[in-house]
Structure 1
Amino acid sequence: MQIYQGKSVFSGIAIGKIRVYKKNERQVKRVKVENPDAEMARFEEAKAKGIAQLGVLYEKACKEVGEANAAIFEVHQMMMEDDGYNESVENIIKSQGVNAEYAVATTGDNFAQMFSAMDDDYMRERAADVKDISERLISILNGDDTDASLNDEPAIIVADDLAPSETVQMDKDKVLSFVTVHGSLNSHTAILARTMAIPALVGTPLPLDESVDGKLGIVDGSDGTIYVDPDEETLAAMQKRRTEEEEKKKLLLTLKGKENITLDGQKILLYANIGNIKDLAAVMQNDAGGIGLFRSEFIYLEQDHYPTEEEQFRIYKQAAETMAGKRVIIRTLDIGADKQCDYFEMEKEENPALGCRAIRICLTRPEIFKTQLRALFRASAYGKIAIMYPMITSVGEVRQIKAIVEEVKASLAEQGIEYGNPEQGIMIETPAAAIISDELAKEVDFFSIGTNDLSQYTLAIDRQNTKLDPFFDPHHPAILRMIQMVVENAHKAGIWAGICGELGADQELTKEFLAMGVDELSVSPGSILPLRKIILETNVAEYKAGKKC
């Protein structure tokens, strides 16, 4: 038995034959051509065929993994049509008088190296995308088959890395698990694995040869381990665990439709966090009571221009209508720190996490803010929308926001445009806001505690710096005391308080949050039913009594 350790993308147990997936090995030769124009025509024909193939893949992916995850193929289509990419290919063909395959391969390598050298994680991931489109074009130019089909038997797919186009072409019924030597937790393959809800590992240093291929394998997604040719004892133990996990999933489904109420009658709201309206299906499937965090910044991040009022209005209106009277809390623009948007033309900052971000951008660029507020207030006439303002540190900021809101409402009324009366709340994600939460509570309708940033600022630990992981304690008493204080101050003022950060889904803290009197937990859709199970099985009074003993 061989054991290899990787990074877990999605938990669960997969048991089956291992299949080493290898890309078509092709060497691209540099060949001088007599007619560069004819070579350019070959390239253009291959590009048109490639764009058509990606369109087919997009449709297939929409059906299997949803529009949000299929969007990568639209990105690949755009990359194939990118002026810079095409001009590079044309320049190499015409200036060097060489074949299209060589020009595409060279351009792909150059662009991939450029993306890989960038500081931004998202942009580094684009290196894999540009390699993918270049491989596709070379395959078409060579007349190769680009189908990533599998054998009939379901298998654990092991590869050096997998491009999105390769994963989506695979028959999902034949994939038990993905394990890659390279790749990151933020790669599109990782995202697809999570969507498919299958165990997956990345960064796993295992050989891609006959010592693995065809052998029985076990992938343990909970701790990032793959066992090759397991012994009988390990196999029996893992089969038992897999059966137990399948039973747990079935039991969780029986919790759909149940109220989130403890054994001693304490109620709590379970809401979902989403990035865009394409996530609404997962919200409905997992029986969320509402949306506790709609990250509106993704509307901006997915565009190359400032989203217009109408563009935003349509999105917010659709969310409100789809949720049919359930609360939809939309966070206003939260650009900055690790979420950069080129067309905002932000000045480079030494410490962007402490710089101009979120509400600070909105208050210093009021026209952008007013556009979003107009769209939000208009959409609030179509459902139960609530508006939430991020990165608040003072009462003065809240009053500035209120003044801008009144301007927006007056403008809409003057134009005869219908708008609603949404709840307005703030995120508590700075120690400053937590400490003065008694004063802030007098100004707003609700609090939502953003534990990701609250933890970062309280502990003075950059949450993007993995080297500091040993020092980071999400259960630090200071963080829990701040949450307790915020909840108490909210209730004294007669408003409700929820949690929308990662700690909300931490099952080790669910009973603690119930004991604190937290009114709402907003988590990823897949975390809702597991949390409901804990809530239904908890007696809060007994838990509190046990803590005192």
Structure 2
Amino acid sequence: MLNTLRRIVQEVNVARDLTAALDIIVQRVKEAMGTEVCSVYLYNPDTARYVLMATEGLNKDAVGLVSLASNEGLIGYVGAREEPVNLEDAAMHPRFRYFAETGEERFASFLGVPIIHHRRVMGVLVVQQKERRQFDEGEESFLVTMSAQLAGVIAHAEATGSIGGLGWGGEAVQDTRFDAVPGAPGFAIGQAVVILPPADLGAVPDKTVSDVTAELELFRSAISSVRGDMQDLSSKLSTQLRPEELALFDVYLMMLDDAALGREVVDIIRSGQWAQGALRQVISDHVNRFEMMDDPYLRERASDVKDLGRRILAYLQESGQEDRVYPDQTVLVSEEISPAMLGEVPKEKLVGLVSVLGSGSSHVAILARAMGVPTVMGAVDLPYTRMDGMELIVDGSQGEVYSNPSAELRRHYLDLVQEEKELIQGLEKLREVPCVTVDGHRMPLWVNTGLFADVARSLDRGAEGVGLYRTEVPFMVQDRFPSEKEQQATYREQLEAFHPLPVTMRTLDIGGDKALTYFPIKEDNPFLGWRGIRVTLDHPEIFLVQVRAMLKASQGLNNLRIMLPMISSVYEVEEALHLIHRAHSEICDEGFDVPMPPVGVMIEVPAAVYQARELVQMVDFLSVGTNDLTQYLLAVDRNNPRVADIYHSLHPAVLQALMKIATACRDAGKPMSVCGEMAGDPAAAVLLMAMGCDVLSMNATNLPKVKWLLRQIRLSDARALLNEALEIDNPFLVQSTLHMALRNMGLGKVLSQTR
């Protein structure tokens, strides 16, 4: 059964379009189940009807013509129930609807299962037989599993057609919308520039070329290079491998011959396809054939073909590399956008970001918010490899991407872009004024930084200090651990730039989704693994060098604060404090005159929330990292778009945890700050201020919006809103209640939908 499922899905995956994919589904399922009919009906949301899109066993002339309303017939019944319907005699069911065009009156037994993708019913998969009988549990399970496997494939094929301007019915399509997750607020209209991962065959798009001769020469050159590599490898390993193992290299060399893979690729190039696209087609076909074979040895050969394809592709990409030209309004699109990709686009040309993977709280999204670039994350259904050069609209506030925008939609978003510019210009006037509420409560607003480029932006926005300086950023741009002197110079730059304002430096926080190429950490569950303070306490030589560099950098400035990440127990703080005091003693012995700086703890895990009273007695301040705290409290991987809608910093559990931390700080007479993304959400900032938070630290882009809102409200009104929010048990209701109350006060212009 599993092999059958796998084969069908593999065949469908390489289908050229949705029609071909559906034809394969009905043929293969009918064969696998031994039924007389298999049909697929797809739901068209524009007409609210199920349309017969493919059949094996019914009259094929009915395809595309027969349709049922969403509440009509057994198909509508399956869709409405969102579960299988298994009938011994379909005609006896009150919801049965007869269509003469299909000839289905001959078939008595009926099994229909919904095709559901991301909670959306996309269609219904049906099998029928003349014989009156109920399909057994095994058959029902097979069809349910089949529909679950195919839902994503159908969604992808449907989306691929839509971005090309055609719906699955062949009709022209405009304003195709792809739902994702808000990454960084704002709106952008621009041209897609798709960045593909290196040597990834699956990501290679189709592309037509005019110079076939040049493409053939490029391919033959790549083949020659790979052949040379294989021969070199074979001779190098000849003393270490047995003859039968060395024979594998001969197999590779045979595959490269003109009579094998090479000939097929050449034929496709001659039809006008570029070399990379032709290679992808041939390798995919061969891999699928091997993987569908029953013989285990032959199935394993699929990996050999894949490896060979990647090697050839690497040479093709190397030869075909050219300097990328970025249009004036660039929307960067990739499966997973990295900070390095952002750095390659000229700042003045980048207007938007779209990432297929990641969530609104992943580090690229945080960086995008700091840069003020509208961003959408987790666009898992986006057929991004086909979108290069297309005009896209990015709605970073709602988490939506539009392709083929109509003139009306384009005009609507151009107006929103203009409104956003005017709002930002209006907020810039607040730079020099303090953040004081209407009833006189002073609320210091600090910034989160990591790059030296953040400094000017932060000071321009009126930052009063740095609540989080991410020291891992200088580590991530190196190919080795930076020396004490190098770190000292980097930290000195930051401390001088903000002097006399305080700068809170978080000690090295790697692990989780922050990796160093020269210090790889491979774990099954990195977010619950070796990260933050756990790494640096296990490597005191790294921790001591960093703290010594921080202390030396602060000489004569005295605006340093040190913060410890990922603390989950009292003894970790004791051990870290011991090392900090040791580093301080060592630099004093070297002649540096530096007072001991304030040291604080980041509250990011539930264990620290419940030990807040003990922890605050040991240090000078507590700072809440709401991104990780929300992730750990709700057991939601914040980089996983599938569960992004569960991640919500206004969840009652998060609010209760923040109240507990605020109480512990207030009772101890120590300051509490929040340096997570929650602090940069103007509406959430109102609640944090009401809780008694002493400092809010955020990305520089959001600082003017938060300042504007807090200067328009009374602390007493904020406390009333907090009391109301604490009584609500639904995070979305907390957010909508908060937004509605603020809009009723005339304070809605800086609110966005980002969480």
Q: TM-score, normalised by structure 1?
A: 0.69
Partner of 1:463: 638
Structure number with greater Rg is 2
1:472-521 CA-to-partner distances (Å, cap 9, x unmatched) read 33222221111112122112212101011122222331111111010111
Secondary structure of 1:525 counterpart: coil
Residue 4 of structure 1, aligned match among 176, 180, 189 = 176
Aligned to 1:122: none
Residue 159 (structure 1) shift? 8.1
Q: C-alpha displacement at 1:372, in angstroms?
A: 1.1
Aligned positions of 1:136-285 closer than 5 A: 138=320, 146=323, 148=325, 177=351, 197=372, 199=374, 204-205=382-383, 220-223=395-398, 224-226=400-402, 228=404, 230=406, 232=408, 234=409, 237-285=412-460
Whole-angstrom distance in 2 between the partners of 1:374 and 1:4? 55
Contact 2:359/2:644 (<8 A) preserved = no
User: How far apart are 1:420 and its partner, in Å?
Assistant: 3.3
* Whole-Å separation in 2 of the counterparts to 1:430 and 1:476: 15
Distance 1:24 1:159, change over 3 A: farther
- 2:587 is matched with 412
Q: Which of 514, 525, 530 lines up with 1:351 in the alignment? A: 525
- Whole-angstrom CA distance in 2 between matches of 1:190 and 1:472: 15
Q: Secondary structure of the equivalent of 1:254?
A: helix
Helix, strand or coil at the partner of 2:454: helix
Which position in structure 1 is the counterpart of 2:502?
327
SS of the aligned residue for 2:421 comes to helix
Match of 1:307, SS? coil
1:12 Cα deviation from its structure 2 partner: 3.4
The 3-state SS of whatever aligns with 2:430 is coil
For residues 340 and 481 of structure 2, the distance between their equivalents in structure 1, rounded to whole angstroms, comes to 30
Q: Which amino acid aligns with 2:325?
A: A
C-alpha distance in structure 2 between counterparts of 1:176 and 1:331, whole Å: 30
Gaps of 5+ in 1: 37-91, 97-101, 114-130, 141-145
Shift, 1:243, TM fit: 3.9
* 1:82-141: CA deviation from partner (whole Å, max 9, x where unpaired): xxxxxxxxxx9xx99xxxxx9xx99xx99xx9xxxxxxxxxxxxxxxxx9997575367x
- What CA distance in whole angstroms lies between the structure 2 residues aligned with 1:190 and 1:454? 17
Q: 1:446 to 1:133 in 2, by over 3 A?
A: farther
CA deviations 1:347-396 (Å, max 9, x no partner) are: x4443323332212222222221111111111121420100011222332
Secondary structure at the counterpart of residue 341 of structure 1: coil
What is the distance in 2 between the residues matched to 1:179 and 1:420? 44
> Displacement, 1:440?
1.5
Aligned: 1:522 with 2:697: yes
Aligned pair 1:298/2:473, yes or no?
A: yes
- Number of residue equivalences: 453
Matches within 5 A, 1:283-432: 283-344=458-519, 346=521, 348-383=522-557, 384-432=559-607
CA gap 1:361/1:9 in 2 versus in 1, 3 angstroms: closer
Cα distance change, pair 388–256 in 1 and its aligned pair in 2 (3 A): same
Q: Cα deviations across residues 127-164 of structure 1 (Å, max 9, x unaligned)?
A: xxxx9997575367xxxxx57375xxx76779899999
Q: CA deviation at 1:30?
A: 4.0
The aligned amino acid for 2:406 is P
Q: Is the 8 A contact 2:584 2:596 kept in 1?
A: no
One-letter code of the match for 1:29?
L
Secondary structure of 2:669's aligned partner: coil
Distance of 1:209 and 1:339 partners within structure 2:
29
Query: For the Cα contact (< 8 Å) 1:272–1:522, is it kept in 2?
Result: yes
Deviation at 1:528, TM superposition (A): 0.7
Query: What is the deviation of 1:426?
Result: 0.8
Aligned counterparts of 1:351 and 1:189: Cα–Cα separation in 2 = 20
In the alignment, structure 2 segments of 5+ residues that lack a partner are: 1-172, 195-204, 226-252, 258-265, 267-274, 284-312, 725-755
Amino acid at match of 2:541: E
Shift of 1:287: 2.0
Partner SS state of residue 442, structure 1: helix
Determine the C-alpha separation between the residues in 1 that align with 2:332 and 2:587: 57
- Deviation, 1:544, is 2.4
1:236 CA drift (Å): 5.8
2:627 aligns with 452
SS of equivalent residue, structure 2 residue 448: strand
Task: Give 1:47's aligned residue.
Answer: none
Q: Is the 8 A contact 1:148 1:169 kept in 2?
A: no
Quote the offset at 1:237 in angstroms: 4.4
CA contact (8 A) 1:294 1:330 kept: yes
Which of 616, 626, 630 is matched with 1:441 structurally? 616
Deviation at 1:537, TM superposition (A): 1.0
C-alpha change, 1:354 and 1:238, in structure 2 (3 Å) is closer
Percent identity of equivalent pairs: 31
Alpha carbons 1:20, 1:208 under 8 Å: kept: no
Which residue among 218, 223, 229 is the counterpart of 1:29? 218
Structure 1 stretch 413-422 or stretch 314-323: which is displaced more?
Answer: 413-422
Contact 1:336 1:358 in 2 (8 A): yes
Q: Which has the higher contact order (CA 8 A, sep 6+)?
A: 1
Q: What's 2:670 paired with?
A: 495
Q: Displacement of 1:272 after TM fit? A: 1.1
Give how far 1:178 is off.
Answer: 5.3
Separation in structure 2 between the aligned mates of residue 330 and residue 3 of structure 1, nearest angstrom? 46
The CA deviation at 1:10 is 4.8
Kept after mapping to 2: 8 A contact 1:272/1:523: yes
Q: Which amino acid in structure 1 is aligned with residue 500 of structure 2?
A: G
Residue 48 of structure 2 is matched in structure 1 by none
Residue pair 1:270, 1:290 contacting (<8 A) in 2 also: yes
Give the distance between the partners of 1:133 and 1:532, measured in 2 at CA.
53
Contact kept in structure 1, 2:333 and 2:384, CA below 8 Å: no
**Range 327-336 or range 273-282, more displaced:** 273-282
SS in 2 for 1:441: helix
1:122-141 map, 5 Å: 138=320
Secondary structure of 1:294's counterpart equals strand
Give CA-to-partner distance per residue, 1:306-341, whole Å, 9 cap, x none: 221111111111111111211100001112222233
Is the Cα contact below 8 Å between 2:357 and 2:641 reproduced in 1?
no
**Paired amino acid for 1:148:** V
Counterpart pick for 1:511 among 686, 696, 706: 686
- Secondary structure of the 1:292 match is strand
Cα distance 1:193–1:392, how it changes in 2: closer, same or farther (>3 A)?
A: closer
3-state SS in 1 of match to 2:218: coil
Structure 2 CA distance, aligned partners of 1:456 and 1:254?
36
Distance 1:327 1:398 in 2: 22
CA distance in 1, matches of 2:430, 2:540: 45
Pairwise CA distance, 1:192: 9.9
State whether residues 380 and 422 of structure 1, in contact with CA within 8 Å, keep that contact through their aligned partners in structure 2: no
Judge conservation of contact 2:333–2:354 (CA < 8 Å) in 1: yes
Contact 1:218-1:230 within 8 A present in 2 as well: no
Alpha-carbon distance in 1 for matches of 2:341, 2:541: 43
Give the residue type in structure 1 aligned to 2:441. Q
The 1:157–1:427 alpha-carbon spacing in structure 2 relative to 1, beyond 3 Å, is closer
CA offset at residue 464 of structure 1? 3.1
